[in-house]
Amino acid sequence: DAMVIQNPRYQVTQFGKPVTLSCSQTLNHNVMYWYQQKSSQAPKLLFHYYDKDFNNEADTPDNFQSRRPNTSFCFLDIRSPGLGDAAMYLCATSRGGGLLYEQYFGPGTRLTVT
């Protein structure tokens, strides 16, 4: 089945130690998104790629970076995780840009910062 895959499902990192979360998709979608969802809060868009074009949300901290080496893969890099970065990180894809296109979500990676 075509899907959005996130690895790992659970990640533990130390305060200040760089960490990378991975997302891959078999849907061949043009757009890939990263959301942050803190406990009991709404998912919040961090950034998205339309093909190779990177679009950062205005309030996304500089500590968060992303790479998309090809259509299938997208990575979220947290350069120096703080305790406040502990959250579920959701990857999503859509066929085209804009909200007319449905977003398909992966199961998420739960990040713990110790």
Partner 1 sequence: AQSVTQPDIHITVSEGASLELRCNYSYGATPYLFWYVQSPGQGLQLLLKYFSGDTLVQGIKGFEAEFKRSQSSFNLRKPSVHWSDAAEYFCAVGAGDNDMRFGAGTRLTVKP
| Pairing state between β 10-13 and 109-113 | parallel
Pick the binder of partner 1 from 40, 62, 69, 70 (CB under 8 A).
40
The reply to whether 95 sits near partner 1 by the rule CB under 8 A is no
Residues in 46-65 at the binding interface with partner 1, rule: CB under 8 A: 48, 55
In this structure, the number of other CB atoms found within 10 A of the CB of residue 47 comes to 18
Pick the binder of partner 1 from 4, 74, 87, 113 (CB under 8 A).
4
**Please, which residues have CB within 8 angstroms of residue 73's CB and are 6 or more apart in sequence?**
22, 23, 24
Pick the binder of partner 1 from 16, 18, 61, 107 (CB under 8 A).
107
The reply to whether 97 sits near partner 1 by the rule CB under 8 A is yes
User: What is the nearest approach in angstroms of partner 1 to the Cβ of residue 65?
Assistant: 19
Cα dist from 9 to 32, 69, 91, whole Å: 18, 21, 12
Cα distance between residue 78 and residue 85, in whole Å: 9
Pick the binder of partner 1 from 19, 74, 76, 90 (CB under 8 A).
90
82 within 8 A of 15, measured Cβ to Cβ? yes
Site residues, partner 1 (CB under 8 A): 4, 31, 33, 40-45, 48, 55, 90, 92, 97-100, 102-108
